[in-house]
Structure 1
Amino acid sequence: MDVKKHIFFGGLNELRAIAAFAVIVHHIELFKKRDKFPSLLDSKYTSYFIEHLGKNGVHLFFVLSGFLITYLLLSEKQKSGYINLKKFYLRRIFRIWPLYYIIFLISFILIPVLAGSFALFSDASSYYNTVINRSDYGLRTVFLYALFLPNLALHEGRIIVGASQSWSVGVEEQFYIVWPLIVSFFNRKVTVIVFGAILIAFVMINFKFYNSILGTLATIIPFEYMAVGSLGGYFYSEYSDLITQYTKSKFIYVTVLLLIGFLIAAPVFKLYIQNLILGGLFLLLILTSINQSNPLPLRNKYLSFLGNISYGVYMYHPFVMFLLFPVFYKILAFYNNIFAFNIAIYICIPVLTVMISYLSFRYVEKKFIKIKDSKFKTL
């Protein structure tokens, strides 16, 4: 394997952007349905697609994380002979924690204050009723979110407006704890066996022990999608030339896109099986997207920019929805125009989310990223 100083895969930011905006679309339509407004979830033609669009976006993030983190860890071990665990964990802390705790403060302090201070927010009943339900804001909930266990909090039904989407960030953080230890303590051949064993174990648990404690744990931390990506990261690190040779095919890229499009639009298999198949297809999409010899994968500077701030887009959009939906409910009530309402929502929510995410990235996150890259970089 050829280890280079600066590892950058083109095409991944574009995939991050698509995944983040898939989650936004899902949440917008879910919000509308909960507040009894016409939603794409009500249509038999779009309900399956929209219902699972958010999870599909998150699963794409998971597979991508598994691929990239595994490749980088293996590259570091190949270069240095070991994994600097301290630097790895500090890199993740400086990248993930600042924005996570900003969202934590917004969700536990700012949103409840706004909801209690302005009658306007009561017009969005689904969010408002959740915010004023103080039972979800107890000490246990605060600790679960503060300790990066939002996935456990959500599993317990502790929904926090503005923060519940962070369940997937919790899963990512738990993944970051385990994976470098695996790569550090095992040689390369054993490492790939462990990744495969994790994937098989999670699949078996979901089929055989779904209603057990193990099944609950597997639901809370769906590591199988990271394992799929990690297998891809391992094989790409070992056989990059061979994989590059096959993934430069335009036919393979188009076939992968068509299969993904088909499986996210309609149920074909049992949901869990379909999600796993999609996970494998997401990996193939990643491998074809990073192939510079394939002219078809999406390369767009605007999407790349959005992918670069996609963490913020993913984390801030529920707060933006909390702010904007009541405003447009008032406008809709006055003008009674559902078409104008949807146009406004689908323009204003993404635009304001991108603006806030950019400002957050530039003036907050980037400061920590510079520290991460200057003090704790290993490749």
Structure 2
Amino acid sequence: MGAYRLLLAVLVAVSHMGKTFMGLNPGVIAVISFLIISGFVMTSLIERNYQAPGKVGLFYLDRVLRLYPQFLLYFFAASAVLYILFPGSPQEAELTFKNIAASLAMVPLGFYMFGATGSGILPPAWSLGLEMCFYLVIPFLILYRARGVAFILSVAVFIPACLGLINTDVYGYRLLPGVLFIFLCGSYLYKPQAKSLAIVAGTAVAAALIFIAIMAGWIERRPSNAEVAAGIALGVPVVYLLTKLKYHRADEFLGNISYGVFLNHYAVMYFLHGLWPISSYDAYTVAKILGLSFLLSGVSYYCVERPALKLRHALRGGVKDGGRQVRGGETAA
């Protein structure tokens, strides 16, 4: 699944360079697959390591050690570039104590649309706030067998958002109530039973029908609703098939650099634009940004994330799955 995660990070990056595919934003479609993967991996992680109420705090610590090291590096790198190369810009104006403190708490990033923090310093990081909200609830949904109720309630929020009865982009893409069922599709794919497979397959089929209805004009096209539907319809079967593949070291390496690429491409774009103003994102410019992003991600993984990875392994007590170490808890077997 590592190569797929890197592909998703690249799609997010190119979407921020203004690239679309058949009028669709590939970044939104990619984020939906990230949510499905997250649901799968977190369920695996909890059931193998933290399946007791008293271990929920350790699960949260595990997640902090996963998300924060590279986030802090690239958040401050982007802040430094904005401060030095873009004085007086709207993004540089967000470098206030309030915004920085709220951003470092991470959860407020997912509520930027309500003024909880700014969104211009490291724009992709808003989804980390959404991830953190999911991390807060998923242990209890699993431990107390509440996934089914949560799934239904989430769909009840998503449908009116998709139809435009409430804000489509906010409640149908960015906030947890409307997308929790997408995370849970991934959760159901971990050790799936017939019932859970039926739920997930039915969701993918329904999403495909919604996408067709949107593109045909039967449902009004609104911000992100076509992309979210497409992301579910495509992401569910792809993630299901990828969970059946065996572990491979090359795949793990590609997955290891995906998080850095997801985080750092905006800092790279800021830096290059500050040195040589970019008039358009042609193929050469896109390749240059992605190449530098890959290089920096490799360095930051080995220099910043791997030390934290050792702490996470120690936290889990060297848990093994079927006699094989699951490396980092992020690359699904």
Same fold by TM-score greater than 0.5 = yes
**What is the Cα deviation at residue 57 of structure 1?**
1.2
Indicate the residue corresponding to 2:184 in structure 1: 230
**What is the Cα deviation at residue 28 of structure 1?**
1.6
Q: Percent identity?
A: 19
How far apart, CA to CA, are the structure 2 residues paired with 1:280 and 1:224? 16
Distance change >3 Å, CA 64–CA 198, structure 1 → 2: farther
Structure showing the higher helix proportion among its residues: 1
Indicate the residue corresponding to 1:167 in structure 2: 126
Within the alignment, does 1:374 sit opposite 2:322 as a pair? no
Within the alignment, does 1:354 sit opposite 2:294 as a pair? yes
Distance change >3 Å, CA 323–CA 96, structure 1 → 2: same
**What is the Cα deviation at residue 355 of structure 1?**
0.8
How far apart, CA to CA, are the structure 1 residues paired with 2:291 and 2:189? 39
Indicate the residue corresponding to 2:56 in structure 1: 85
Match of 1:292 among 240, 245, 250: 245
Computing the radius of gyration over CA atoms, which structure comes out larger, 1 or 2? 1
How far apart, CA to CA, are the structure 1 residues paired with 2:304 and 2:17? 27
Aligned length: 302
**What is the Cα deviation at residue 219 of structure 1?**
5.5
The answer to whether the Cα contact below 8 Å between 1:64 and 1:283 also exists between their aligned partners in 2 is no
Match of 1:313 among 261, 264, 271: 261
Within the alignment, does 1:48 sit opposite 2:37 as a pair? no
- Given residue 306 of structure 1, which amino acid in structure 2 is its aligned partner? L
Distance change >3 Å, CA 326–CA 101, structure 1 → 2: closer
1:40-90 superposed Cα distances (whole Å, 9 cap, x missing partner) = 56xxxx5613xx11111111111111122123324447xx66672122111
- Given residue 367 of structure 1, which amino acid in structure 2 is its aligned partner? P
- Given residue 311 of structure 1, which amino acid in structure 2 is its aligned partner? Y
Runs of 4+ in 1 over 6 A off after TM superposition: none
1:237-285 superposed Cα distances (whole Å, 9 cap, x missing partner) = 2428x96xxx9xxxxxxxx9xx79xx69x93454526623531431111
How far apart, CA to CA, are the structure 1 residues paired with 2:297 and 2:183? 27
How far apart, CA to CA, are the structure 2 residues paired with 1:82 and 1:237? 21
Secondary structure class of the residue paired with 2:215: coil
Indicate the residue corresponding to 1:111 in structure 2: 82
Indicate the residue corresponding to 1:124 in structure 2: none
How far apart, CA to CA, are the structure 1 residues paired with 2:99 and 2:183? 31
1:106-129 superposed Cα distances (whole Å, 9 cap, x missing partner) = 23344312334xxxxxxxxxxx73
The 10-residue stretch of structure 1 (282-291 or 222-231) with the greater mean CA deviation from structure 2: 222-231
Within the alignment, does 1:194 sit opposite 2:149 as a pair? yes
The answer to whether the Cα contact below 8 Å between 1:313 and 1:357 also exists between their aligned partners in 2 is yes
The answer to whether the Cα contact below 8 Å between 1:16 and 1:61 also exists between their aligned partners in 2 is yes
Indicate the residue corresponding to 2:228 in structure 1: 275
The 5 A counterparts of 1:104-183 are: 104-116=75-87, 129-132=89-92, 134=93, 136-148=94-106, 149-156=108-115, 159-183=118-142
Indicate the residue corresponding to 1:24 in structure 2: 13
How far apart, CA to CA, are the structure 1 residues paired with 2:153 and 2:3? 29
The normalised TM-score by structure 2 is 0.76
Secondary structure class of the residue paired with 2:89: helix
Distance change >3 Å, CA 76–CA 205, structure 1 → 2: farther
How far apart, CA to CA, are the structure 2 residues paired with 1:90 and 1:368? 11
- Cα RMSD, aligned residues only: 3.7
The answer to whether the Cα contact below 8 Å between 2:32 and 2:182 also exists between their aligned partners in 1 is no
Secondary structure class of the residue paired with 1:28: coil
Indicate the residue corresponding to 2:329 in structure 1: none
**What is the Cα deviation at residue 105 of structure 1?**
1.9
Match of 2:4 among 15, 18, 29: 15
